[in-house]
Structure formats: structure tokens, C-alpha cells
Structure 1
């Protein structure tokens, strides 16, 4: 959808630029003609005033505007009463087709003897009561410059549009290639994690299976011995360990469900703490929690509870000699900020950047999926998770989750 919007925007901008360039070029011709016509009318007024003030018309010979190629005054008989070229004064117009009507105004393009295309403007004037025709021929340098500038602008716009589209196509191809490269990297990373997971499974499953096999063989060989009860208990323990491992793997591999609803965070804290208390009591760990009663969170309640339980169990295991575990929550704008604090052994500095990576663990009997699963759950519920720890002082894990709407 985003790519289609970008493409539609590009097409719209391109059409606007092309329309502007063509419109500017088409308007350049009329603008140039209006400029020439306005200049010709101004010069006509000036020449008529000079001729009225000087009946001998000598003053006109010193009138040489830069835009004027030549000008002349023609009487009704077709004789030049004045011409910029003194040699033509008193001569007749060369051809009948060049006869100028005394009472009409006209304009046209002519070609001078030098090959230059010029603008000729004819207008009736009155000098000392005598009707004459003013023939004014102007250079079109500046007017033509307007057209050339418009043509250049249109060429530049077209070149920019073509260059922009070529660049866009190149960038799109590069982005697609980069996207495929990232997909390939992600695929390889997934394969690497699968290989790592296979190694973890081989290691973690082999030891419990060996114990289960050995205990089962002892029970099978001597089913009536009294010590078989402890062997059976060991079998159950190892089977539960395997079940927990499989559950962690399935939970990490599963897609997050879409069952999102609003729930009271205080109730979730109360339920989570009640589940953690038996394990915490055996380790001499006290648990407390504090949360506003009206703080509602939007998300998947069961999955968030699973994340809090994982973090709680990790904190209890980090305090083998006892300690204090706290669950705290507060509102921060549109989010709920949850802090899980312990005063356990903490995490070594070199391990802090790796604790959320799947299969990373410093425990002898761990899968390394606990914190990775917590991060996946929190991010699936549009939240964030961070960790701060100092070795020997404890750890604080902070979860930021969206509040109810």
C-alpha cells in the first residue's frame, strides 16, 4: 500500500511538472507579443509627440532607442515624410503591397535584408493636423529571449523528470535487491538458529533420556526393591524437565495470538505473585507489588502473565540466599511502565547485551529461551523491554506496554 501511494505521488508530481513546463512554454509566445506591442505603443506615443513639437522632423533623427531597427512616417500618397535612413525621405514606398493604410493599426513579422526576423508595427498618427502612418520596426531580441527561456525551462524540467524517474527506478531496484539480501540474511540466521536449537535439543534431551533409561532399566530388573520409588520420582522429574523444554520451544516458535483485550494490571500482579510465592518461599525470597487499581493495559493477558512469570522465576533463581522481589507499575502518558526489581547476584557486563538472544544462557541446565520469549511476547503486544543490572547488586527489568484506550 505504501509503495502504491509513493508511485501515485510520483506520477502526480510528474504530471504537474510537465503541465507547468508546457503551459509556461505555450504562454511565452503571447507574452512576447504583448511585450512587443506594449513597447511599440509606447514608442508610437513618444514619436508622435516629438513630431508634433518639431514640424521639421529633424528631432526624430536623434531618436535611436536600442530596440528600434528603423521607423518611418508615410503620407497618404505613399511617400516617406520621414525615415531613419535620410536617403529615403521623399521617396515613394517601393511596392504597392507595402502601402500603409492611414486609419488602421496592424502588426506583422518581417525579414530584414540582413536575414533577421523583426516585428513591424503600423499605426495612424497625426502631425500638425495631417494624418500619417507610422511604420515602426523593432528588434525581437528580448521578446525572443522570453521564448528561448521558456523552451530552456521546459527542456530542463523534462530532463529532471526523466532523471528523477531513472533514479527512482534505480533506487527501487537497489531497495528490492537489498530487501532480498536482508531476506537471505534472515533465512540464513534462521537456519543458524535452527542448527543451534538442534544442538541445544540434542544436549538437553540426551541427558534426561539417559537418566530415564537407566532408572527404567533398574526398575525393570528389580521391580520389588524399595528404592524404586525414588527412581520413579527421578523419572517423573526428568520427564517434567523435558516437557518444560518442549513447551519453551513451542512457545518461542509459535506466532503471537491476536486475542487482545483491556485488563486490570493490579489483578494480573496479584495472580502472578500468588503463583510465584511457593517457589520464592523455598528460596527465602519475599515478594511485594504495587500498582494503581485503575491502571488498565491493552494486550494479550495470558501471554503477558507468562512473561511476568518467566521474569519472576529468573529473579528468584538469581537470589539463592534470599532477597526481595518487587513488581511495580505506574502510568506514563499513554503507556504503563512495569518494573521487576531484585537484589540478587546481577548480570556480568559482558553478558548484558546477549541476555535477550535465544539460546544464550549461563546456567548449566537452561535453554536460554526465557528472556528471549519475554521480549517476543512484549514486542508482540506493541511494547518494549529493557534491562539494567549491576553485578552483585541486582537487576531491574522494565516493560512498557500500551494502556487501554
Structure 2
């Protein structure tokens, strides 16, 4: 909720800044035109007063405001009565201008011979009772400074917004990575505590469990009553199940150094398939494996075999009505990619993110340590494990392990 509020606040601030920049830029144009129009009106009044005080119009030649490019007075016939350029006095206006608007005021932008875009203001004036047209052309440098400043401000605001969002995204990504790192540390800490608890439980349970199993086997071998045989078999079954749980706990909690060596993967596949065959045959599951003969792994062979057996038994149990189990391997650069594929019942979507967590199981009589132990074994051998499943279509587990040098 806090993150959403921060995101909404950032979006709101960004919208306000962008609106301000665009509004300022759009208002700069009218302000620039108003400045030019006001300046033109002031100069028109000054020129009209100078012309009224000097019928010869000679004093106008000394009138050189910095913003004026040139100005002229034109009579009804289109003859220049005055022009900033002495040579044009007495000449006629360009033939394209058929009529000088003496009674109307107009303003426009024109291009000078130098290529400069200038502002031209035309206004009717009266000099000694004679109506004339004042053509006033102004430089727009100072007036357009408002527009240039607004454009610069808009560019700066846009740049700041982009940089701000990039920094925010970078900080958010860093914060998310740090959060994931803390979650991973917390998970490892909890798993370490869980492993310690499992080791203690296994140590306390193993000794009495051995006695229970031994006495039950004696009863099963020489029952004094007919019903004791069934009871004894149940005791043995439950004792074996508890022993399997203890072994899984010990295997998961074990932190002993691994024995690393190079070994051929094809031999491991062949041996794993032979161990899985009895259970698979009882469920009507066929096993197929393919592996390049020259593909070898570097790691702990026994532990990797244990992981493959766990995955194979899980696949067989997911196909109670029969199916097809595949063990495939291929080389990918410096790694070997092992795929265990079944066409069983699959895993529900809400359970896929939890299958590698210790003690999570959907079975009525499962320990929930199988896949968690597989992941620990694979990661201990410098590899990775992923699972893809679709309910009703099957499951694919992929192991990536380093090849032999």
C-alpha cells in the first residue's frame, strides 16, 4: 500500500511539472506578441510626434532605437515619404503591394534579406493633416527571449522528470533486490534452524525406532496368535516409514563435505532406471532414458543419484494409472541439462511455488522433504533446479549441473 501511494504521488508530481512546463511554453508566445505590439505602439506614438514637430521629417533619420530594423512613412500613392534608408525616399512600394492600408492596423512576421524573421507593424498616422501609413519593422531578439526561456525551462523540466524517474526505478530495483536478499537470508536461517531441529529429532528417534522394528520383526517371524502377524506387519510398515522420515531429516540436515568426482552420466541413468523399474512396473509406467555416452558430470554421484531417485519416484506416484517417464540429458556449454518428464496428474497452480519448501506435501502420507532435499543436493553440487507443471498434463523437472572438466 505504501509503495502504491509513493507511485501515485510521483505520477501526480510528474503531471504537475509537465503541465506547468507546457503551460509556460504555450503562454510565452502570446506574451512575446504582446511585448512586440506594445513596443510598436510606443514607437508609433514617438515617430508620429517627431514627424508632427518636423515637417521635413529630417529628425526621423536620427531616430534609431535598438529594436527597430527599419521604418517608413507611405502616402496613398504608395510613395515612400520617409524611409530609414535615404535611397528609398521618393520611390514607390514594391509592385506586389497594390494598396497601402492607411486606415487599418496590422501586424505580421516577415523575412528580412539577411534571413532574419522580423516583426512588421503597420498603422495609420496623420502628419500635418495628411494620412500616411507607418510601416515599422522590429527585431524580435528581446521579445522572443521569453519564448526561448520557456522552451529551455520546458526542456530542463522534461530532463529532470526523466532523470528522476530513472533514478527512482534504479532505487526501486535496488530496494527490491535488497529485499529479496534479506528474504533469502531469512529463508536460509530458517532452514538452518530446521536442519538443527531435524538432526536432534533424528538422533532421539533413531535408537528406540531400531528396537521397535526389531521386536516387530520377531513377532512377525514367530507369531503366537494369528492376529499378531497382521499387527506385527503394521508395526514394521510404520517403523520403516518413520525410519525413512529420519533418513530424510538426516539427509536434509547433513552439512558434511561432499565427495566430488567425475562420473559418466549414462551409467548413472542406467542404474537409476533399474532401481525405479520395480515401482514403475507395479504402476504400469514405462521408463525411457537417453544420454550421450561421452557426457560426464562433476559432483557427488551418490547424492545426485538420490535426487534422481526422489524425482523418479515422485513421477511414478503421479501416474497411478500408468504412463511414460523420460530421463533425458544433453550438453549445454559447460553444463549438463537433465530433464525428468512425466505425463501424470501434474501440480495445481497454487502449489507450484511451494513444492520446494520443506515439509510441504499434498499427499496424505508424505514427509514433504523430497523436492526440498533435491534442491539442496543440486545446489550443493553447484547446479540449479526448475519445475514446470500443468494440471492434468504432467510435470517437467529440469536439473542443470556442471560437466566434468
- TM-score, structure 2 as length reference: 0.48
- TM-score, structure 1 as length reference: 0.48
